[in-house]
Amino acid sequence: MSVANLEKPSLEQARATSFYEASARARIRLLLDPGSFVEFIGPERREVSPHLKLFDLPEQFDDGIIIGRGQFAGSPVFIAAQEGRFMGGAFGEVHGAKLTGLLRAAKELKSIPVVILFDTGGVRLQEANAGELAIAEIMRAVIEARTAGVKVIGLIGGRSGCYGGGGLIAGCCSALAVSEQGRIAVSGPEVIETNRGVEEFDSRDRALVWRTMGGKHRRLIGGAELFADDTVQAFREAALELLETTAGFGIDTLNAEQSRLEDRLQRFGTCRDAVEIWAAERVADAASVPALPADQFIELADKVRRIARDAR
């Protein structure tokens, strides 16, 4: 029996694990072709945040983000994965600069796509100014890379979701794949409730959080190109599809996005709940959407909304 035959079933099994439950390192290892990952400034370099000790907080040797290169179905990719279990995956000075550097290299090389595994609550408050600025620099670097012809794909399915400035970076990517758990928003549920009151948004109403910010709603309004089941394998397939189908970036893209968003405001601007929007999109039994299994939801979504691949 060959080695390949021994390895194959175990890789399949491993890729069937939950993306949500996996660590950032496990996600990278399982997503890429086996053994192909090479990390840049890994934990052995101990490039920790210089600011957390001011708050007596523990540091992490990779500052909560893993970046490097690898192979994806035989082709080179750059990859970055945030660890949502360290400081909520939040952006700080070192964390953000690692991603900025990766995107700047991609811009110069032009031919190697970037895959970003978001898992973040947004800016790291203990270094809020540096984190905010890091996000601004990443947004600029994403657009410069895309202008040079680089595809930048975002995968969203982690426990911290993709909030705050993370949501803005995601909106700058060429295309996104999201699972049901992968919430995308700017203001988190608690932030809205704290600022506007529980009548505006009850952060403890989990069903409300999922249907307002979760992956199914984002897919149905066109905020994400693909919906993925919560397995590493599903995200791998989604990323491969997005890398093949994603268009370039230029003034036509931006004009198309302006029309796409104006159209959304016009059609759904007065809806008070996601279920109303889905019904307006002619989803037959809109109230049943949250309970649909992934395969049935994907079938439904493909029927309801053809996603524009040239308007982000």
Partner 1 sequence: MTLDRILASMFPDGHDVKNDGGVLLGSGTLRSGDRALVIGVADRTALGVDEAIRLSGAVLGAIKRGSGPILVIVDSDSQRMSKRDELLGLNEFLAHLAKSLIHADIQGKPTIGLLYGHSAAGAFLATALATRVLVGLPSADPAVMDLPSMSKVTKLPIEVLEEKAKSTPVFAPGLQNLVQLGAVHVIWDDQVSLADQLEKLLRNMGDARDRRDALGKERGGRMKAADIAERVRELAMQTR
Which residues from 123-182 bind partner 1, rule CB under 8 A? Answer: 123, 125-137, 139-141, 143-144, 147, 164-165, 167-172
Which residues from 200-259 bind partner 1, rule CB under 8 A? Answer: 200-201, 212-213, 217-218, 221, 223, 250-251, 254-255, 257-258
What is the closest distance, in whole angstroms, from the C-beta atom of residue 41 to partner 1 in the complex?
6
- Which residue in the set 30, 64, 66, 69 belongs to the binding site for partner 1 (CB under 8 A)? 69
Would the CA dihedral through 139, 144, 146, 152 be positive or negative? negative
Rounded distance between C-alpha atoms, residue 239 and residue 226, angstroms: 9
What is the closest distance, in whole angstroms, from the C-beta atom of residue 3 to partner 1 in the complex?
26
With contact defined as beta carbons under 8 Å apart, do 89 and 82 qualify?
Answer: yes
Task: Return the number of the residue (232 or 274) whose C-beta is nearest partner 1.
Answer: 274
What is the closest distance, in whole angstroms, from the C-beta atom of residue 289 to partner 1 in the complex?
14
What is the closest distance, in whole angstroms, from the C-beta atom of residue 73 to partner 1 in the complex?
17
Contacts of 186 (CB under 8 A, 6+ apart): 163, 164, 167, 168
- Which residue in the set 40, 210, 308, 310 belongs to the binding site for partner 1 (CB under 8 A)? 40
Rounded distance between C-alpha atoms, residue 190 and residue 136, angstroms: 24
Total number of residues that touch partner 1 (CB under 8 A) = 88
Identity at 27, one-letter amino acid code = R
CA 252 to each of CA 153, 244, 247, 259: distance values in angstroms, whole numbers, following the listed order: 19, 20, 11, 11
136-163: burial string, b at 16+ Cβ within 10 Å, e else: ebbbebbeebbeeebbbbbbbbbebbbb
Which residues from 174-203 bind partner 1, rule CB under 8 A? Answer: 184-187, 191-192, 194-196, 200-201
Rounded distance between C-alpha atoms, residue 304 and residue 221, angstroms: 10
Does position 308 interact with partner 1 (CB under 8 A)? The reply is: no
- Which residue in the set 20, 37, 210, 268 belongs to the binding site for partner 1 (CB under 8 A)? 268
**Strand 65-72 vs strand 75-82: parallel, antiparallel, or unpaired?**
antiparallel
What is the closest distance, in whole angstroms, from the C-beta atom of residue 126 to partner 1 in the complex?
6
Rounded distance between C-alpha atoms, residue 157 and residue 171, angstroms: 15
Task: Return the number of the residue (15 or 85) whose C-beta is nearest partner 1.
Answer: 85
Task: Return the number of the residue (34 or 250) whose C-beta is nearest partner 1.
Answer: 250
From first CA to last CA, the distance across the chain in angstroms is 48
Task: Return the number of the residue (122 or 298) whose C-beta is nearest partner 1.
Answer: 122
Which residues from 92-111 bind partner 1, rule CB under 8 A? Answer: 93-94, 96-98, 100-102, 104-106, 108-109
Candidate ranges 18-26, 269-277, 282-290, 298-306; the one touching partner 1 (CB under 8 A): 269-277
